[in-house]
Structure 1
Amino acid sequence: MQKIMKTTALLFAGALLFTGCASSNGSDTASGDDNCEVVRVAVRDISNGAQNAIATSVDQPTLTEKLEGYSQRLDEVADENADDEDLVTAIDGLQEKITAAEEYAATLPTAAPGEGEESTIDPDAQATASGDIQAAAVTVTEVCEAE
């Protein structure tokens, strides 16, 4: 249980760090900068949501459903930015990490543990899935800022 709490604390700290990096920007006035801000906000929300889902879900169906929802949202962001090949490639990288997190979800039990039952969460796999998503989200932000 202590490992899970430590992992969860690290995930939230990473999400807060990413949020601060993603939202700190000078004055964006050009149309491309506005679109970049929209993409960064969407990616940050998707990334943070996926990481929170990984940290808090204790059963496979719940986590898989949430990850599929985030995957659909990423498809929409990619479609809206289809004209920017580099950005779409970066978004696809994040999409791959969210899809890979479903492999972690497959290690979870099919039902939430009952009262008094111990969870079978692998904290290392949980941290890896979450960390990979965060790193891919940072890459999307960097690509967007470089444009």
Structure 2
Amino acid sequence: MRGTKTTAMLVLAGALLLTGCASGGSAGSTPKADACATLQSEVRDISNGAQNTLAAAGTPSEIQAKLKDYSARVVALEEKADNPDVADALAKVDEKLAEVSTTVGTLPTDADGAIDGAAIAEQQAGIQAAADKIKTACTATEAPSGY
């Protein structure tokens, strides 16, 4: 009888170690954390690219074409999202990119036709703010698994 209890305790202890319960509940990375990190990296890349596109001295039509490509990437991520909060945050990034794309042709320009730096900075800040909400949505404690 004593041997059976010892064996059962060893099996239970092994199971706890494998699940991370014996070390405070953390077994390192989880699939959700990995998915969120990947998503945040992709959104950061999109956000940085869109902001750099605005900073580059391109024509409004060139900027709009590039922003459309970034928007398509966001939509692809949104279609994969199984977390409604993350999907909503991604939709807001897409909406902001569409808004900037529409607005870029109406931004004030200087005598040489270059878009005003302050107007560009304002649009860049809007894109960054929308992208920052992905982290909040993705890491919310009540969020379901996945992104």
- One-letter code aligned to 2:65: E
The equivalent residue for 2:76 is 76
Alignment of 1:1-147 (within 5 A): 29-81=29-81, 83-107=82-106, 118-146=112-140, 147=143
Q: Which protein has greater RCO, CA pairs closer than 8 Å, 6+ apart?
A: 1
Deviation at 1:107, TM superposition (A): 2.7
Q: Label 1:135 to 1:129 Cα distance change in 2 as closer, same or farther (>3 A).
A: same
Give the distance between the partners of 1:136 and 1:28, measured in 2 at CA.
Answer: 29
* Coordinate RMSD, CA, aligned: 2.0
Instruction: State the 1:57 CA deviation.
Output: 3.5
Q: Identity across aligned pairs (percent)?
A: 32
- Kindly state the Cα deviation for residue 124 of structure 1 after the two structures are TM-superposed: 2.5
Matched with 1:114 is none
Structure of greater Rg: 2
Show structure 1 runs of 4+ deviating over 3 A: none
- Judge conservation of contact 1:93–1:136 (CA < 8 Å) in 2: yes
Count of residues paired in the alignment? 113
Structure 1: 5+ residue stretches without partners:
1-26, 109-116
Between 65-74 and 99-108, report the one with greater CA deviation.
99-108
Residues 30-65 of structure 1, C-alpha deviation per residue, up to 9 Å, x if partnerless? 111111011101100000000000111430121011
Structure 2 regions of 5+ residues with no counterpart? 1-26
Contact 1:74 1:91 (C-alpha < 8 Å) held by counterparts: yes
1:54-108 Cα shifts (integer Å, max 9, x gaps): 1114301210110000000000110111x21000001111111111111332136
Task: Quote the offset at 1:28 in angstroms.
Answer: 5.5
Q: Distance in 1 between matches of 2:57 and 2:32?
A: 37
The answer as to whether partners of 1:104 and 1:126 remain within 8 angstroms in 2 is no
Shift of 1:120: 3.3
